[in-house]
Chains A and B, each alone.
Chain A
Amino acid sequence: MTLELFLQHLTNGISLGSLYALIAIGYTMVYGILRLINFAHGDLIMVAAYIAFYGVGIFALPWYLSFFIAVLLSMTLGIITEKAAYKPLRNSPRITILISAIGVSFLLQNLGIVLFGGRPKAFQVPEIFAKVYNFGGVNIVGVTFFIPVITVILLILLVYLINFTKAGMAMRAVAKDYDTSSLMGIDVNRIISLTFGVGSALAAVGGIMWSLKFPQLIPTMGLMPGLKCFIAAVVGGIGNVTGAVVGGFLLGLGEILLVAFFPDLSGYRDAFSFILLIIILLVKPTGIMGEKIAEKV
């Protein structure tokens, strides 16, 4: 393998890893605050992609405006989902709310089939993302370059939000202890909504960039990335934002490099994530950066 070819695969892996990282953060943030695996999270990828698609295709909006609206609407959908399907169950056994999340996921997928049709649609990739750039012999499609850049910007914003703002401090407090947080005067419901909003927005950005990279839309398109990002969050240590990023990049790079070095195994590309999950659960169930999982009391 030449150096150029390796760099080509590496950039590919980094860009896929960025997508996984962005989406995995949503899983981990929601888990941190509600102790819930939000299985509907992956379907937000699909919702965001379709909204962005129709914004350009039907309403003839410029692509950036359409993308922006898609992020806003997906964020709203994430917040509504929590209010409608999870909040009424907050004092129920955790398995109930988990089943509710799976229900929301099925609902979104089937609504997608009804509203958007089951046949695949081709996502129109704006010129700036489709162009091929050449960096010293390495050919990079625009989108492969932009995905990591946008991801890094969003990660910096997220770290700032969580660690250096009042809302972020409240998020960390609520993740530990609802009652004491409300004794501080924190409106716990608002902080939970904020968490869902941030997580959903990141998933939406991830979903749109996913469609730029793999420009084919079907209503079940959120399923596989959703599962893989869930795995990324678990591998990194669920509840830990840094862990989700590490897990995402590990999965993305692992998948691409596996296929690059062992072309014969390309059929096992998806299996790689699941094997990694099994190994992590056997060796270090709390994940790479996970803390001890203490039962919430």
Chain B
Amino acid sequence: MLKINNLHVHYGGIHALRGISLEVPKNKIITLIGANGAGKSTTLRSICGLVPKTDGTIVFEGEDITSLKTTEIVKRGVTLVPEGRHVFPDLTVLENLKLGAYLRTDKSEINKDINRVYELFPRLKERKDQLAGTLSGGEQQMLAIGRALMSRPRLLMMDEPSLGLAPLIVQDVFKIIQQIHNEGMTILLIEQNASAALQIADYGYVLETGSIVLEGTGKELLNNQEVKKAYLGQS
């Protein structure tokens, strides 16, 4: 579905991505793990066209999207749940969800999807007229995910969805990710919580200072000695 070939990105004078190649097949959860500053977020942001690329290609469903504008990429069905959630704090929960469907014009279908999001996250329904800025961190994360689903994406990318959340909420978030995946969503997930991510992932890539140093199925990586030492805190 998504194929990245030899992607290079320079970011504020730093060679942030040094020739990354990876693949996201349909209906799979793929995860990228790695330390802070390894280039995980940069990878997702460059797929969305938020970061200019120096070299390489990004192909989505057979179409080269490397140099498309963000709007165009979103139109084709790629969505990112950004790191730090970035809900619109001055807009209500409902308005945030409506913005997720900004490019769509099928009003009745949009309303159906809003109800689907409410089913997935009953808390959001209770708070639909509340300003998003007044939600708790976990609720904001749910809103960010719900908002992303509103565009009916074909590829859902998530940047650190568990960052800064209480352990119980983190569990909820991973449950939700799996539930969305079971409904047929293709997911590209970035996590600092490597063990949780690898447990639900079909395939994973390990990123180190801008290069992929290791890849394998979720299980393989979970049992890999180096991964255990560096990212899972076991020896």
Contacts and interface: CB of A to CB of B under 8 A. Distances in A.
Contacts of A170: 99, 102
Contacts of A183: 48, 50, 70, 74, 79-80, 82
A181 B102 CA distance: 10
B88 interface: yes
Contact of B82 (A166, A176, A180): A180
A177 B75 contact: no
Contact of A169 (B70, B80, B91, B147): B91
Contacts of A185: 71, 74-75, 102-103, 151
B128 interface: no
Interface string A147-184: 00000000000000000001001101100110111111
B127 interface: no
Given A169-B95, A179-B50, A179-B82, A184 B90 contact: no
A56 B136 CA distance: 59
A182 B95 contact: no
* A-side interface size class: 10 to 19
Nearest to B48: A183
A183 B44 CA distance: 12
A166 B86 contact: no
A169 B98 CA distance: 9
A72 interface: no
B89 A176 contact: yes
Interface in B59-102: 69-71, 74-75, 79-80, 82, 86, 88-91, 95, 98-100, 102
A186 interface: yes
Contact of A166 (B48, B91, B102, B151): B102
A181 B79 CA distance: 12
B148 to A, nearest CB: 8
Contacts of B98: 166, 169
B102 A182 contact: no
A187 interface: yes
B91 A182 contact: no
A173 B91 CA distance: 8
B67 to A, nearest CB: 15
A180 B91 CA distance: 13
Contacts of A180: 82, 86, 88
From A172, A177, A182, A185, name the one whose CB has the most chain B CB atoms within 10 angstroms: A185
A237 B48 CA distance: 35
Contacts of A179: 50, 82, 86
A279 B57 CA distance: 57
Nearest to B105: A166
A182 B82 contact: no
Contacts of B70: 182-183
B44 to A, nearest CB: 11
A185 B74 CA distance: 6
Contacts of B147: 184
A119 B92 CA distance: 53
A129 to B, nearest CB: 39
Interface string A82-116: 00000000000000000000000000000000000
Contacts of A172: 88, 90-91
Nearest to B104: A185
B71 A186 contact: yes
A173 to B, nearest CB: 5
* Interface hub of A169, A183, A184 (most chain B Cβ within 10 A): A183
Contact of A184 (B69, B89, B99): B99
A181 B69 CA distance: 13
B47 to A, nearest CB: 11
Contacts of A182: 50, 69-71, 74
Contacts of B91: 169, 172-173
19 contacts: A166-B102, A169-B91, A170-B99, A170-B102, A173-B91, A176-B88, A180-B82, A182-B74, A183-B48, A183-B50, A183-B74, A183-B80, A184-B74, A184-B151, A185-B71, A185-B75, A185-B102, A185-B103, A185-B151
Interface of A: 166, 169-170, 172-173, 176-177, 179-187
Q: Which 4 pairs, one residue from A and one from B, show the smallest C-beta to C-beta distance? A: A185-B103, A182-B70, A185-B74, A180-B86
